[in-house]
Amino acid sequence: MDRAKALVEKLFRESDIEINGSRPWDIRVHNEDLYRAIVRGGSLAFGEAYMAGDWDSDQLDELIAHLFRSRVVEKARVSFGNVAAYLSALGKRRGAKSHAFDIGMHHYDIGNDLFERMLDKRMVYTCAYWAKAKTLDEAQEAKLDLVCRKIGLRAGQHVLDIGCGWGSFGKFAAEKYGARVTGITVSKEQVALGRELCKGLPVEFRLQDYRDVKGEFDHIISLGMFEHVGAKHYKEYIDVVHDHLKDYGLFLLHTIGANANQGPPDAWIDKYIFPNGNVPSVAQIASAVEGRFVMEDWHNFGADYDKTLMAWFKNFDTHWPEIAPKYGEAFYRMWKYYLLACAGSFRARTNIELWQVVLSKNGVAGGYRSVR
């Protein structure tokens, strides 16, 4: 038997995955070159082979969950060709100001038509909060309300939303709480549609890097943007927040987090979905805020990202025929792999989480009461 095939089969067996098996999460191999490709290129090659149609699985999300639960992904990062990609990734200027708008052009400017069909009615592109919700719309409204309650938002207060997307938080906070919101983003498409969606409300959009923010704010929030900051710039980011937050204000950081400091991200995600990103660990966040903020609350609801991603995929898959002529089959397989592989990784609970961290400058007088 070919040595590459034998090695890959062994790793799959350790993950309870059978090649050409009958269970939903088993893998069907259509191209025998897959095994050598995986050994040479690790997770990057595995994802690219799926995009090329070299393999399939009836339940891709659960296949990925199996791989993460067995720690095979961690082994592959070291033992396979991922090492070359890993070393290359170390040299990237992640989060540098000169590259601040790259992620906007590469990902968030793909097309508003895609995101309108994939997301909820408010177009929230971050993890929903499913504690009592039954639908994606309900879960995203619950998440936005959770954020408002955690910062104690009151009518007339001015909030800075770093990485504001299409203005979902701004619109909600203005409509439900009577707040004023300034949102910044590096996506031209988000600004264009966001201004239309928030017309008539006290919600301002700025096409701007966070380092160029001016003014003081009652509260600052950041929902799903910290992953683009880059580990070398965490302290710089926290300093910017500190400098623009009023003394009594609260900062809420909503971010995907890693269970351990893993360095650069998965090579496939880095190349095709979120270039130059970093997922922070607990230690990295703690180091960045140390001496600048009091940590008032740390809330983990990472399991909710599995449900969110599966809901996004259902929407994407259902509405795909409406946009298929524009994007093409190769994009469909890439986007399907992105959504379902991420769902599987959150389901496994071994690698990544979703955190909301509430921080104050000087400690909340009398103590902060956690909101859930």
What is the full DSSP assignment across 300-311? E-THHHHHHHHH
Q: 72-79 vs 60-69: helix axis angle to the nearest 10?
A: 80
CA dist 124 and 235 (Å) reads: 27
CA dist 139 and 344 (Å) reads: 20
CA dist 323 and 334 (Å) reads: 15
CB–CB of 362/247 below 8 Å? yes
CA dist 318 and 134 (Å) reads: 19
CB–CB of 278/265 below 8 Å? yes
Task: Please state, as a whole number, how many other Cβ atoms lie within 10 Å of the Cβ of residue 316.
Answer: 20
Could you tell me the two tokens for 234? 């965490």
Provide the 3-class DSSP secondary structure of residue 334.
helix
CA dist 44 and 52 (Å) reads: 12
CA dist 260 and 350 (Å) reads: 10
Closest to 310 in 3D by CA, of 352, 348, 339: 339
Task: Please state, as a whole number, how many other Cβ atoms lie within 10 Å of the Cβ of residue 228.
Answer: 24
Residue 356: strand pairing partners: 254, 299
Catalytic residues: 342
CB–CB of 74/266 below 8 Å? no
Eight-class DSSP state of 74:
H
**In terms of DSSP bridges, do strands 180-185 and 203-207 run parallel, antiparallel, or are they unpaired?**
parallel
Instruction: Look at phi and psi of residue 29 and say left if phi exceeds 0, alpha if psi is from -120 to 50, else beta.
Output: beta
CA dist 161 and 158 (Å) reads: 10
